[in-house]
Amino acid sequence: MTEALIPTYNRLPVAFSHGSGAWLWSEDGTRYLDALSGIAVTGLGHAHPGVTRAIQEQAARLLHCSNVYHISAQSALAERLCAHSGMSAAFFCNSGAEANEAAIKLARLHGHRRGHTCPRIVVMERAFHGRTLATLSATGNPKVQAGFEPLVEGFLRVPYGDVAAVAALFDRHPDIAAVLLESIQGEGGVIVPATGFLAGLRDLCDRYGALLMLDEVQSGIGRTGRWFACQHEGVVPDVMQLAKGLGNGVPIGATLVHGLASDLFGPGLHGTTFGGNPLACVAALAVLDAIEEEDLLARATALGARIAAGLRAGLATFAEVSVRGRGLMIGVVLPRDCPELALTCLETQRLLVNITAGRVVRLLPPLVMTDAEADDLVTRLLAVLQPWLLASRPEQGVA
């Protein structure tokens, strides 16, 4: 800890020196089970041999050369992502917020092309899209926005999951250029929409000529058991935003386009110095290789079911608790706010988890966990949750 850092984070009292698979070691040599993956980033676990080798080899050859030249690894990565997603082309950047910024710019270009001078974008309550000015304006959390007004204008907000509310907006506003949402809400509390929601939005966007823009920054790259969470519903968007798990820790984001969004960006309309550099792209290619070779989509499905079942069994006597999510994006919804539980898990169980939306314990474990590690995760978490829930019951005097 040092005062030389701007305190934008409330950090937990530990610093890690190295990791392997689902485990991290602190600088004092203590071992922790990582059920968070750096918030959905290290899906292949720490120090994955394939990613490490790819980075080492590339680092010895060429880190960076600029997007004014062709970059073979970038072209290869774009083709691989398009093949897995059904999208047509990719723009590479460095983060989820940047991937969403590009999407918002695409929506505005699309609106202007249709003759609307102030194109609007429909966004969702409880959404999280990033911390830049446009993405925090799209985010549905007043705490993220407070103090940064004036917000970027042009966003219309509806409840997540409500197709009829979006349809009503389309009826009222002819200048809607796009609908932007997470396929599964992460920061909002691991909220999986009802079947038919994404397909319903796809139909509406088709009917009104608007872009469907799916933020798969947290839910993408295999985490839910498919390459992308929208594939559970067979929906292909016009724009798809990726980051987090794509580089397994090497910063990289991507905005994929399809359909009406395919020909909006041309030379000079968007850019980045670092985005899609050779180092980041070979890391991401190694991530895709590992997901395919190690059959990690099936593992995410199986591990997710195993962890959720273990938690449901261990919490069966607590009717006030629910376990929700898809694959390895899991939320344990508690009856009251529990900001202290991340520290309790860290200190008493050497387990890394995160609390989101006040009362949701969020688990984003690596896709490479063994069954024994998944069971260990459940045991450690239950050892914290069961006594906490008993102490929270009104008859215990802690309402």
Ligand X SMILES: Cc1ncc(COP(=O)(O)O)c(C=O)c1O
Binding positions for ligand X, rule: CB under 6 A: 39, 95-97, 100, 128-130, 182, 186-187, 215, 217-218, 243
Residue (355 or 384) nearer to ligand X, CB: 355
Catalytic residue among 34, 91, 92, 128: 128
We find the least distance from the C-beta atom of residue 190 to ligand X, in angstroms, to be 11
Residue (129 or 326) nearer to ligand X, CB: 129
In angstroms, the CA 347 to CA 341 distance is 10
**Identity (one letter) of the amino acid at 390?**
L
We find the least distance from the C-beta atom of residue 386 to ligand X, in angstroms, to be 29
Count CA atoms within 13 Å of residue 395 on its CB side.
Answer: 1
Closest residue (Cβ) to ligand X? 96
Helix, strand, coil shares of the chain, percent, nearest 5, are 40, 20, 40
Residues β-bridged to residue 323: 332
We find the least distance from the C-beta atom of residue 284 to ligand X, in angstroms, to be 14
Q: Is 143 a catalytic residue?
A: no
DSSP H or E run through 387: helix 371-392
Residue (102 or 368) nearer to ligand X, CB: 102
Residue (39 or 383) nearer to ligand X, CB: 39
In angstroms, the CA 107 to CA 137 distance is 15
In angstroms, the CA 82 to CA 226 distance is 14
Q: How far does CA 299 lie from the centroid of its chain?
A: 18
b/e map 208-219, b = 16+ CB within 10 Å: bebbbbbbbbbb
We find the least distance from the C-beta atom of residue 308 to ligand X, in angstroms, to be 20
Q: Is 16 a catalytic residue?
A: no
Q: Is 265 a catalytic residue?
A: no
From start to end of the chain, where are the E strands? 16-20, 23-26, 31-34, 89-93, 120-124, 155-158, 176-182, 211-215, 239-242, 253-257, 322-326, 329-333, 351-352, 354-356, 360-363
Enter the tokens of residue 237.
């968007």
We find the least distance from the C-beta atom of residue 230 to ligand X, in angstroms, to be 13
Residue (39 or 89) nearer to ligand X, CB: 39
Catalytic residue among 197, 215, 228, 238: 215
Query: Which residues are known to be catalytic?
Result: 128, 215, 244
